[in-house]
Amino acid sequence: MNQYTQSASPSPRKNAYSGNTIIPPFGARPLLSSQRPAMDDPNEVYRKNAINKVLESLHGDVVGLRKNREAEMDGLFGA
């Protein structure tokens, strides 16, 4: 096997200029089921759920404000 056909998955390489390891971008290598933790930390799950709830609420508020602003502009310009 030559250096171009060694493996299908990317592996970290050395940067030719600085010698630092180059890490592939996020999502370049999918995690195998054996690499995932068996169960997420309950504190981390709670944190993620809380953040998602706040973001969903914020998104709803922004949509409402945008609709109000659009209705006000339509009223001002008589459209």
pLDDT on residue 68: 96
Residue 30 DSSP code: P
The H or E element that residue 79 is part of is none
Name the more confident of 39 and 2.
39
Distance CA 54, CA 44 (A): 15
**Residue 56 pLDDT grade (very low, low, confident, very high; cuts 50, 70, 90):** very high
Question: Chain centroid to CA 26: how far?
Answer: 9
What residues pair up with 58 in beta bridges, in sequence order? Answer: none
Q: Mean pLDDT, the chain, as a whole number? A: 75
Is residue 34 over pLDDT 80? no
8 Å CB contact between 14 and 20: yes
User: What is the average pLDDT across 10-35?
Assistant: 59
pTM exceeds 0.85 for this model:
no
Residue where the block lists tokens 């659009």: 70
What residues pair up with 21 in beta bridges, in sequence order? Answer: 14
